[in-house]
Amino acid sequence: MRCEGTWDSKTSRECWQQVRQSLEQLGLDRALVDDRDILLETDASTDFEHAVFLVETLGSVCRKLAIIDRAQNDEFNSFFETVCVNRGLRLRFFTDTASAIDWLLP
């Protein structure tokens, strides 16, 4: 799934709900999301809330989630990944598609 545009909390929640619906409809337990074209202004408190929502939304249906993003977002991504992993979601950020696919596949 490719995500783009300017995002706020509502847009973020809608995207993750759409990912869940797609996984359920297709009978999949892994997802690859490309976030490189998203513009999202956020802070640590909002980042935490987004991560918790993501785990609550995908945790029961998604075994592994790979997200591709720009390297300049590494600090945000590291925090987000830690929150998700600490809550049981196998999530990892990547800067290239090939590495993300290698991690997702058994």
pTM (two decimals): 0.89
What is d(CA 38, CA 88) in angstroms, rounded to the nearest whole number? 25
Encoding tokens for residue 38?
């998203």
**The predicted structure's pLDDT at residue 52:** 94
2-104: CATH topology: Transcription Regulator spoIIAA (3.30.750)
pLDDT at 12: 82
Q: What confidence score (pLDDT) does residue 80 get? A: 92
Question: In the chain, what are the domain boundaries?
Answer: 2-104
**Closest-CA residue to 39 (of 14, 15, 8, 13):** 8
pLDDT in tens, the chain (106 residues): 776 667 677 888 888 899 999 999 999 999 999 988 777 777 777 889 989 999 999 999 999 999 999 888 888 899 999 999 999 999 999 999 999 999 999 7
pLDDT for the residue 35: 87
pLDDT attached to residue 66: 97
